[in-house]
């Protein structure tokens, strides 16, 4: 019974933490003035999970390992409160002879394609710029390995705004908005080097 209580408590705490986080950071039907309230509630629930403790703390580590092992480390706000925008990543490959080509990240199965879409969503959500640049560089490196002659890669990451049903009926197929761009050169680089 104690195990059941602990399991349900952890599921509820994680779900509340993620729900408060979603309410605090994304547009909802709640007034924007409530964002600070949601943020405080999120911090409280995160503290219950030991997230404010030192990284070496046994309680924090124990909870984290248990949550991940039981598959309950994340809440359940799929496609909520709003369906995320459609993100696109395009690489412009520059060759020494002045030629330019375009490519996109590729996978060889539909299952991996769904996962790739999730990766683009995560890239858009990363607020810490150095981490986003590192993730982008790794994806760009995988594309460069297919085109080792390219002297430079320019990565364009953008958001495709999906039309509403009304806009679609009027012939509007949506628009594309560039969010950020990065230039990478890989010649003589080995990302796997320690």
Token representation of residue 113: 């394609």
Verify binding: residue 68, other proteins, rule CB under 8 A: yes
Spatial contact of 86 and 158, defined as CB atoms under 8 Å apart: no
Instruction: Compute the least distance from the CB of residue 86 to other proteins, in Å.
Output: 5
Verify binding: residue 4, other proteins, rule CB under 8 A: yes
HSE (side-chain half, CA atoms, 13 Å) at 101: 13
Which among 40-48, 56-64, 95-103, 181-189 is the span making contact with other proteins, rule CB under 8 A? 56-64
Token representation of residue 66: 């248990």
Burial class (CB in 10 A: 0-12, 13-18, 19+), 141: middle
22-51 footprint of other proteins as x/- string (CB under 8 A): xx---xxxx---------------------
Which among 82-90, 94-102, 149-157, 181-189 is the span making contact with other proteins, rule CB under 8 A? 82-90
* Phi, psi of 112, rounded to the nearest 5 degrees: -70, -25
Q: How far apart are CA 39 and CA 50, in angstroms?
A: 17
Token representation of residue 168: 């679609």
Instruction: Compute the least distance from the CB of residue 125 to other proteins, in Å.
Output: 11
Q: How far apart are CA 158 and CA 143, in angstroms?
A: 18
Residues numbered 5 to 24 that lie near other proteins (CB under 8 A) are 7-8, 11-12, 15-16, 18-19, 22-23
List interacting residues with other proteins (CB under 8 A): 1, 4, 7-8, 11-12, 15-16, 18-19, 22-23, 27-30, 55, 60-61, 64-65, 68-84, 86, 105, 107-119, 122, 134-135, 138-139, 141-143, 145-146, 162, 164-165, 168-169, 191-192
């Amino acid at each position: 019974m104690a195990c059941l209580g602990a399991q349900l408590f952890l599921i509820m705490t994680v779900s509340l933490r993620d729900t408060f986080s979603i309410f605090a950071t994304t547009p909802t039907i709640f007034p924007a003035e409530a964002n600070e309230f949601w943020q405080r509630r999120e911090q409280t629930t995160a503290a219950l999970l030991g997230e404010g403790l030192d990284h070496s703390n046994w309680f924090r580590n124990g909870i984290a390992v248990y949550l991940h092992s039981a598959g309950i480390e994340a809440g359940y706000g799929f496609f909520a409160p709003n369906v995320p925008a459609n993100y696109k990543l395009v690489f412009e490959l520059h060759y020494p002879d002045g030629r330019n080509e375009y490519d996109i990240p590729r996978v060889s199965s539909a299952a991996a394609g769904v996962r790739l879409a999730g990766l683009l969503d995560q890239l858009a959500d990363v607020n810490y710029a150095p981490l986003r640049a590192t993730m982008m560089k790794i994806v760009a490196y995988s594309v460069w390995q297919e085109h080792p002659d390219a002297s430079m890669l320019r990565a364009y990451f953008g958001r495709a705004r999906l039309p509403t049903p009304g806009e679609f009926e009027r012939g509007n197929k949506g628009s594309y908005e560039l969010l950020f761009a990065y230039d990478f050169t890989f010649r003589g680089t080995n990302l796997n080097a320690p």
